[in-house]
């Protein structure tokens, strides 16, 4: 099967958005290609979300189209010549699985010196304790999931505005799962049947706004720490599941102003994608176009005590899914 991806694009900032058919980082209007090749199920698609809403019909039609198209025919654009909007513009629901990479959680535990009494100054002992805790959590625990507002979603190359509300904006590169079929109480062994494909997400977080210090029993505040505008660059495109042979063996890499911060694989996940879908759908109905951010590997700003600053350039990539690039811009007061 010929590889392709899907995305949302426009010619310039003011151009009309269109669903794009992506082959080798070249983009054509899906509607125009479908009309040319007689794929009626695709010609009237209003966008990528509409394709996902009818994924059982869209997917075979897209495969047929991929077999017919040639980059030498029609109007194809270089990806760099287009404005790239969020790959799914916009998702219905966004779920985020927190504390889901083993080394990440162990590092956070050691960095924060959060452990049993007597281990605060024993880094090696604290690390062993944290590793044992992760083994126990995997054996008998459950994923930890929260939601993120859809208004956080931005394009893969949009500037990231650093809001005045935080002094510690941080990065979290994540594999994002895109749902292509509605489901509730989905069995683990059937979970991947509900996946349409994968894309890249960066769960930007204001670290200093996570804990609620005014009323500590409330614990964490995900709205203010993760819900601000632009705090979820998504894309550049959606890669169908058929082209990702093993989503649990993908290389992930993020740099900030040229310095490598995250360099890991999705193999370090504690709870795999099937387990996350099972857990989320036990309590919430998953809908076509929903996005599940599956956790972030070690190497966040908290670990380095280095947070995003005005002028920083973040570049992130996940094997087979493309790359993102954001320039950080300080929000102006007033």
* Residue 284 burial (CB count, 10 A): 14
In a domain, 119, yes or no: no
In a domain, 109, yes or no: no
- Looking at the structure, do residues 286 and 180 belong to the same domain, yes or no? yes
Number of domains the chain contains: 2
pLDDT band at 118 (very low <50, low <70, confident <90, very high): low
In a domain, 197, yes or no: yes
d(CA 226, CA 245): 31
Q: What is the pLDDT of residues 12-65, one digit of tens each?
A: 989 999 999 999 999 999 999 999 999 988 988 889 999 999 999 999 999 999
For residue 3, is pLDDT > 80?
Answer: yes
The domain containing residue 24 runs over which residues?
Answer: 5-85
Average pLDDT, integer, range 208-217:
93
- Identify the pLDDT of residue 132: 82
- Looking at the structure, do residues 80 and 215 belong to the same domain, yes or no? no
- Looking at the structure, do residues 67 and 147 belong to the same domain, yes or no? no
Phi, psi torsion values for 60, nearest 5 degrees: -65, -35
For residue 315, is pLDDT > 70?
Answer: yes
- Looking at the structure, do residues 47 and 159 belong to the same domain, yes or no? no
- Looking at the structure, do residues 320 and 196 belong to the same domain, yes or no? yes
For residue 322, is pLDDT > 90?
Answer: yes
- End-to-end Cα distance, the chain: 53
* Residue 226 burial (CB count, 10 A): 27
* Rg of the chain in Å (alpha carbons): 20
Average pLDDT, integer, range 303-323:
97
In a domain, 185, yes or no: yes
In a domain, 122, yes or no: no
**For residue 303, what is the domain's CATH number?**
3.90.850.10
- Identify the pLDDT of residue 109: 75
State the chain's mean pLDDT as an integer.
94
Q: What is the pLDDT of residues 153-169, one digit of tens each?
A: 999 999 999 999 999 99
In a domain, 136, yes or no: no
pTM exceeding the 0.75 threshold for the entire prediction: yes
* Residue 219 burial (CB count, 10 A): 10
- Looking at the structure, do residues 149 and 294 belong to the same domain, yes or no? yes
- Identify the pLDDT of residue 333: 76
pLDDT band at 202 (very low <50, low <70, confident <90, very high): very high
236 against 103, higher pLDDT: 236
- Looking at the structure, do residues 63 and 186 belong to the same domain, yes or no? no
Sequential DSSP letters for 228-286: STT-EEB-S-BEEGGG-S-TTS-EEEEEETTEEEEEEEGGGBSS-HHHHHHHHHHHS-B
pLDDT band at 129 (very low <50, low <70, confident <90, very high): confident
- Looking at the structure, do residues 158 and 297 belong to the same domain, yes or no? yes
Q: What is the pLDDT of residues 104-113, one digit of tens each?
A: 888 877 777 7
In a domain, 108, yes or no: no
The rounded percent of the chain whose pLDDT value lies above 90 is 81
In a domain, 216, yes or no: yes
Average pLDDT, integer, range 162-191:
98
For residue 72, is pLDDT > 80?
Answer: no
- Looking at the structure, do residues 184 and 270 belong to the same domain, yes or no? yes
- Looking at the structure, do residues 161 and 78 belong to the same domain, yes or no? no
- Looking at the structure, do residues 37 and 181 belong to the same domain, yes or no? no
Give every CB contact of residue 144 below 8 A, 6+ residues apart in sequence. 97, 98, 99, 100
- Identify the pLDDT of residue 125: 77
Contact between 303 and 175 (Cβ < 8 Å): no
- Looking at the structure, do residues 172 and 272 belong to the same domain, yes or no? yes
* Window from 54-63, 211-220, 287-296, 302-311 with minimum mean pLDDT: 211-220
């Amino acid at each position: 099967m010929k590889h392709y991806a899907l995305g949302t694009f426009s010619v310039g900032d003011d151009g009309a958005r269109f669903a794009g058919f992506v082959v080798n980082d070249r983009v054509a209007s899906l509607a125009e290609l479908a009309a040319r090749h007689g794929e009626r199920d695709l010609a009237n698609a209003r966008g990528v979300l509409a394709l996902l809403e009818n994924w059982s019909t869209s997917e075979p039609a897209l495969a047929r189209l991929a077999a017919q198209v040639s980059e030498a025919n029609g109007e194809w654009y270089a990806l760099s010549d287009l404005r790239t909007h969020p790959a799914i513009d916009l998702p219905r629901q966004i779920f985020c699985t927190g504390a889901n990479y083993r080394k990440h959680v162990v590092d956070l535990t050691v960095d924060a010196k959060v452990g049993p009494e007597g281990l605060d100054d024993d880094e090696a002992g604290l690390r062993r304790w944290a590793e044992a805790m992760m083994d126990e959590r995997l054996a008998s625990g459950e994923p930890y999931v929260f939601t993120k507002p859809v208004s956080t979603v931005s394009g893969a190359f949009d500037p990231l505005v650093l809001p005045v509300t935080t002094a510690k904006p941080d990065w979290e590169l994540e594999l994002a799962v895109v749902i292509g079929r509605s489901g509730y109480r989905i069995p683990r062994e059937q979970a991947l049947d509900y996946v349409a494909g994968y894309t890249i997400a960066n769960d930007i977080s204001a670290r200093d706004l996570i804990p609620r210090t005014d009323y500590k029993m409330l614990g964490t505040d995900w709205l203010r720490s993760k819900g601000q505008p632009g705090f979820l660059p998504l894309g550049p495109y959606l890669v169908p599941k058929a082209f990702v042979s093993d989503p649990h063996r993908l290389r992930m890499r993020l740099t900030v102003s040229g310095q490598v911060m995250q360099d890991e694989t999705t193999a370090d996940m504690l709870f795999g994608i099937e387990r996350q879908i099972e857990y989320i759908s036990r309590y919430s109905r998953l809908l076509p176009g929903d996005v599940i951010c599956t956790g972030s590997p070690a190497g966040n700003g908290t670990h380095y005590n280095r947070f995003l600053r005005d002028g920083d350039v973040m570049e992130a990539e996940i094997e087979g899914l493309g790359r993102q690039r954001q320039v950080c811009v300080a929000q102006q007061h007033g």
